[in-house]
Amino acid sequence: MAMIFMGCKNNMQLNEHLRRIAIASQGLKSEVKAHDDLLATKQAIKHLGYVQIDTLSVVERAHHHVLWSRVPSYQPDYLNQLVKQQSIFEYWFHAAAYLPMDDYRFALIKMNSIRNGESPYHQNTNPKLEREVLSRIKSEGPMRLRTLDNKGGGGGSGSWWSYGPVKRTVEHLFMRGDLMVTQRYGMEKEYDLAERCLPSELNTRVPTTSEFAEYLFNTTKRAHGVFNWKQLVHLRKGPALREQMRQILIDHVQTGDIKVIKQETGGDLYVESQLLEQTTSPNKLLKILSPFDNLVIHRERLKELFNFDYKIECYVTANIRQYGYFCLPILYGDKLVARLDCKAHRAEKRLEVISLHLENVVFNERVFFNALLAELENFAHFNGCVTLSLDAIGEHALKWQA
């Protein structure tokens, strides 16, 4: 078993190398503009394995933000276009997400568990209402919830046909795979029958536990480069699946494909051997990341690898917030160096920077602030804003003019 111990004198160099591997694996190192931004967006989702969907809109929503960080000319309508092309679909990874259509069959495991009543996502819905919802969509075409809730068009009979039961029924039919999302109007979803949304040649064979475990392992390895066990099995329940994943990891370590990095804290990091042996160049970019970015979503691994103790504070009361309601991590070079709390005032087309907290790892602040200002201008444009409000930065204000 190949092991590298992190307590040696080259500890700093190894940490730096691992961070660079992780950043490059996430597609956050390149600033090359694609000739086809829609194709680049599709490839980014395929590489990452999933992009989490989130409703928070303090700044542009997470699913758009994550893709913009990797495809600089990304446009929010690309997701609807890719869904229409049957290149991606909405379902569930560890949360609501966009996933590559090629991976659809791996979602069948959760769909079937819900259909069979084996999952906590299973809801006791009215079978008659289920049939009516499916019948209306089949005869009238793709529909939004607000249209389904309308008793016009010949559908909806009985006292149970109302927003609450209809919403629960539609969500249940979606989670068990009978309905799929065809497009979004903002965060409002339009649904159609799954059979009309899937490519005719798509592989819809239910994977074995071994195949599912291999898929999860390969997705994590490809998208992250460096990972730990907790990240690998995040929210994956069932002893059979976890045992399969453990055995896959052991096999890769024993063959030398994966090296084990023993940490001083006692934990292990895993990295693909060929990546570890490659020379990595410094990352010169500055990126304002989403709190739900794939690089930072696994908080324990983030602390281990980047020494960045991060949590989103919009879910806690204002009096105990340390950094702000919706602080965004700032990636600069191969480090996470700051937290930026900001808000897009869309009616005014103004991006307000509420606060900035540095991590004391920036060596040349003049260069950093110039890079941050340039990226903030890009970020403002991405959020549909034409002006920046920087007054709240206070002690850092003069640095913006450097």
Considering only CA atoms, which of 370, 377, 285 is closest in space to residue 330?
A: 285
Would you state the torsion angle of the CA atoms of residues 268, 269, 271, 273, taken in this order, to the nearest 10 degrees?
-30
**Cα 357 from Cα 396, distance rounded (Å):** 10
* Residue 293 near residue 60, CB atoms below 8 Å: no
Q: Which two tokens stand for residue 151?
A: 């008793």
pLDDT at 8: 45
369 SS3 class: helix
Beta bridge partners of 51: 98
CA angle 384, 387, 388 (to 5 degrees): 110
CA distances from 32 to 37, 43, 71, 278, 285 (A): 11, 14, 9, 21, 11
* Residue 191 near residue 142, CB atoms below 8 Å: yes
Helix ranges (H only) for 26-144 are: 37-48, 62-68, 78-84, 104-115, 127-140
Beta pairing, strands 286-288 & 88-92: unpaired
**Cα 274 from Cα 254, distance rounded (Å):** 15
User: Other CB atoms closer than 10 Å to residue 93's CB: what's the count?
Assistant: 22
Q: Which two tokens stand for residue 85?
A: 């092309």
- The verdict on pTM exceeding 0.85 is yes
Residue 374: half-sphere exposure toward Cβ, Cα within 13 Å = 11
pLDDT at 81: 98
pLDDT at 247: 97
**Cα 221 from Cα 26, distance rounded (Å):** 11
351 SS3 class: strand
DSSP notation for 295-348? TTSSHHHHHHHH-------TTS-GGG-SS-TTEEEEEETTEEEEEEEEEEETTT
Q: Which two tokens stand for residue 119?
A: 């999952």
Residue 328: half-sphere exposure toward Cβ, Cα within 13 Å = 30
CA distances from 159 to 121, 124, 135, 326 (A): 25, 17, 18, 42
pLDDT at 125: 82
86 SS3 class: coil
DSSP notation for 142-167? SEEHHHHTS--TT---STT-SHHHHH
CA distances from 296 to 27, 272, 304, 314, 344 (A): 13, 20, 11, 16, 22
Q: Which two tokens stand for residue 298?
A: 């696994």
pLDDT at 395: 58
Residues of the chain scoring pLDDT < 70: 1-9, 31-34, 121-122, 150-163, 392-402
Residue 169, H or E segment: helix 163-175
**Cα 206 from Cα 198, distance rounded (Å):** 15
pLDDT at 9: 40
**Cα 190 from Cα 205, distance rounded (Å):** 26
Considering only CA atoms, which of 204, 227, 208, 207 is closest in space to residue 217?
A: 227
